[in-house]
Amino acid sequence: MSNQIIFYMMGITGGLFAIVLIIYFAIRSKTNTKEMKRIRQLREGTKQHKYSKDIIYQKLYNFYTSIPLFKRYVLKIRRKLEIIHMQDEYKTRMQSSKIITNALGIIIPVTIAVIIFTKSDPLLLVILLLFELFLVETLMSGMVDKYDTKILKQQVDFFAEIRHAYHEFNMVEEAIYEVSQNDELEISVQGQRIYEILISEDPEMELEKYYDVAPNSYLKEFAGISYLTREFGDRTDKDGASLYLKNLNNITQEMQLEILKRDKLDYVFQSLSVIAILPVLLMSPLKNWAISNFGFTAQFYDGKLGLMVQIGIVILTFICYFLTRKIKDTGSIKVEEKDPNKVWQIKLYKKPIIKQGMDLIIPKKNTKDHRIVTKLLKDAASKQKIEALYVNKVLICIVAMIITIVLFMFGHKIAKNYVYTEPTTDYNLLGTLSDRDRKKAMEVTEAQNIVLEEFKGKSNVTSEDILEFLPKTEFYKDADEGTLATATEKIMSKLSIINSEGFKWFELLIAFIVGYLGYCSPTWMLMFQKILRSLDMENEVMEYQTIILMLMKIERVNVEMILEWLERYSNIFREPISKCVNNYEAGAWEALEELKQEVTFPQLIRIVESLQAAVEKIPIREAFDELDNEREYYQAKREESNEKLIKRKGMIGKIVGFAPMVSVFVGYLIVPLIVIGMSSMSESFTAIGTTSM
């Protein structure tokens, strides 16, 4: 390269550098103006740190939504959190990301522990890793429930401040507006929304919309009472107290009882879910301990029977963990369920071929069986249609049969594999083989495997055939008669196992039985759900009493309005109450009489009879006068009812939660040690007796 070209390049580079310097100083002079300095000062006060928690969670949210596996969980959590953080996208994203991150913080160590403890058992490892997909969803739901309890606790303080603000302004909407200015609290968002409803042009329609998205029934009650007070005005009770504030106090007492109930249920069930899962993690360590200290147990743990017991305990753990979560359910945030006509079961049912087959199984309308199943669905508060129920039953039946048959075939393979890999020697009652003895025992096993390959699958094989073949092998060519006789006995025993390990007719029968149990399982689940609902019946009726107590002293409130309120907050008795509301205009007395015939709970029947009296005979206030006079009694009874509910759920939860633990220690450790130990001792004594003779 010539010197002239080099000088040209240096000149161009220097010119470009000079241009960059000129641009830099020009921009700097502009940024130092007063206006730019003022903007920088304003930004300094509001600028979020690059690595603050909020920013990190927002970035993690984008990361989670970009991964298909996490995106499903993000959307599921969002649907619940959107109810709490109404239209606040920033908080919804942040808390969704926070919940998933916290769940991963628990799941990742558990996954590492599972891999460490079960790395020697690939089947159990795969099962537990699949189980964790269910566990992570449960953890996330539990964290969302904590947010619901958090907002419930905020409501207690929120309503207390409403009382003070109402004394100051004497206007419902102004009191709510004043207290809702604290943007740091989740409850403030709800307060602002209720304020907007009250001052809107059509508050009644906006209120109906809010009822569909309110986080809990207590906010619905508060919004409804606030609307009625603003619409019809406040009144003073016979003791001179504000009726609005008294109703507010009633709602607060209900919330306090609910918070206490949830806290006690959390305390009772805080470890049961872990106890239900823990036995599955303990199976591999227990198996290793038993084999290392009692070598004779290897024939159980490494054989077919050990596999079946292991699978049974895993299935029991799945069931018990799921039931424990169901029992503990506090009835917190509920997302809107899918349309029963749009679920995948109904889409599958509508396929012509499948529909023809399913119609042969589903009970026909107006038959006794159809009425029984329909009633069970209503009693269990299930929204699914009878067609979806039977699609689930058939699919679970088929899957259960297929899995059972596959497990039997896998068990036969395990049993054969154990024969080919078991060290061939006499086990001691305690301890295991040394490395040297194990090496010798495996040499014997490999030598006998040659004989097994020669005779497996052949019928009518005798001891003489094996005894004649043994000297032809390298290992036994110089063996004495005693060694050959012992080897022949061992090989005959192994050969009988190999030839007998095939799929048998009774295993197919067992598969059909398991399939039938799977077919019945959705019905049993509905029955279990019905039992849990029966525990909550008294609690729901007492909520009805509180609602009536709040409404009965408000002017222009009639029986139909009370029924509409009861329908809005009902869960267990929603179906009959909704039917009564729909039939009310056709005849009030007749609709209530039909409601009384459909419900069987005595306390609810008393409420219906009082409503019938209020329709034609006496005012609502007089019909329910006993609720006001005996308020303290009903409050004490409500507390006692909650205590009984917690004790019942706790008792059922402990039975279900400890079932897998008992099964592991009894069925997977103690029974094998005793049975196989006694069998080994019997064989040892027989061998000693034969030797001494």
Lookup result for tokens 């130092």: 32
| pLDDT tops 70 at residue 691 | no
pLDDT at 336: 47
Of 542, 647, 646, 547, nearest to 601 by C-alpha is 542
Residues 11 and 142 occupy one common structural domain: no
Q: pLDDT band at residue 628, thresholds of 50, 70 and 90?
A: low
Among 269, 301, 330, residue at a domain's last position: 269
Residues 57 and 40 occupy one common structural domain: no
> Contact 670/289 with Cβ under 8 angstroms?
no
The answer to the question of residue 386 being in a domain is no
Distance CA(99)–CA(115), nearest Å, equals 24
Number of domains in the chain: 3
> Hey, what are 265's tokens?
């249920």
> Hey, what are 453's tokens?
């390959």
How wide is the angle at C-alpha 19 spanned by C-alphas 14 and 21, nearest 5°? 95
Residues 537 and 565 occupy one common structural domain: yes
The answer to the question of residue 307 being in a domain is no
> Contact 375/276 with Cβ under 8 angstroms?
no
Lookup result for tokens 């706790």: 650
- Answer with the residue of higher pLDDT: 448 or 610: 610
| pLDDT tops 80 at residue 275 | no
Beta-bridge mates of residue 236: 242
| pLDDT tops 70 at residue 2 | no
Q: DSSP of 161-182, one letter per residue? A: HHHHHHHHH--HHHHHHHHTT-
pLDDT at 18: 61
Residues 72 and 33 occupy one common structural domain: no
> pLDDT tens digit string along 47-57?
455 556 777 87
The answer to the question of residue 253 being in a domain is yes
Distance CA(141)–CA(45), nearest Å, equals 37
CB atoms within 10 A of CB 7: 10
To the nearest whole number, what is the mean pLDDT of the chain?
Answer: 76
Quick one: what percent of the chain has pLDDT higher than 70?
Answer: 81
Of 248, 285, 57, nearest to 155 by C-alpha is 248
pLDDT at 46: 45
> pLDDT tens digit string along 675-689?
776 766 665 555 555
> pLDDT tens digit string along 311-353?
888 888 888 887 887 777 655 444 445 566 667 778 888 888 8
| pLDDT tops 70 at residue 198 | yes
The answer to the question of residue 580 being in a domain is yes
pLDDT at 677: 67
| pLDDT tops 80 at residue 253 | yes
> Contact 380/533 with Cβ under 8 angstroms?
yes
Residues 241 and 148 occupy one common structural domain: yes
Residues 582 and 620 occupy one common structural domain: yes
Residues 79 and 35 occupy one common structural domain: no
Residues 133 and 163 occupy one common structural domain: yes
Residues 158 and 244 occupy one common structural domain: yes
Lookup result for tokens 């043994």: 470
- Give Cα 313 distance to the centre of its chain: 19
SS (H, E, C) 456-477: CCCCCCCHHHHHHHHHHCCCCC
CB atoms within 10 A of CB 226: 25
> Hey, what are 435's tokens?
């490395």
> pLDDT tens digit string along 15-37?
666 665 665 555 555 555 545 45
The three-state secondary structure class of 522 is helix
The answer to the question of residue 325 being in a domain is no
Q: Which segments within 590-637 are labelled E, that is strand?
A: none
Q: Which helix (H) or strand (E) holds 501?
A: none
> Hey, what are 658's tokens?
């400890």
Residues 130 and 230 occupy one common structural domain: yes
Distance CA(524)–CA(176), nearest Å, equals 47
Which residues fall within 8 angstroms of residue 14, CB to CB, at 6 or more apart? none
| pLDDT tops 60 at residue 44 | no
> pLDDT tens digit string along 364-373?
888 888 888 8
- Answer with the residue of higher pLDDT: 129 or 590: 590
Residues 110 and 250 occupy one common structural domain: yes
> Contact 81/95 with Cβ under 8 angstroms?
yes
Distance CA(146)–CA(426), nearest Å, equals 58
Distance CA(325)–CA(649), nearest Å, equals 11
The answer to the question of residue 138 being in a domain is yes
Of 201, 159, 199, nearest to 180 by C-alpha is 159
The answer to the question of residue 354 being in a domain is no
Which residues fall within 8 angstroms of residue 380, CB to CB, at 6 or more apart? 526, 527, 529, 530, 533
Quick one: what percent of the chain has pLDDT higher than 90?
Answer: 1
Containing domain of residue 30, as a range? 3-46
pLDDT at 338: 58
Burial class of residue 479, CB neighbours in 10 A (0-12, 13-18, 19+): middle
Residues 20 and 79 occupy one common structural domain: no
> Hey, what are 150's tokens?
């958090």
The answer to the question of residue 234 being in a domain is yes
Convert 365-378 to b/e letters by CB count within 10 Å (16 or more is b).
Answer: eeeeeeeebeebbe
> pLDDT tens digit string along 131-181?
777 677 777 777 777 777 888 888 888 888 888 888 888 888 888 888 888
Among 225, 248, 269, residue at a domain's last position: 269
Distance CA(637)–CA(599), nearest Å, equals 21
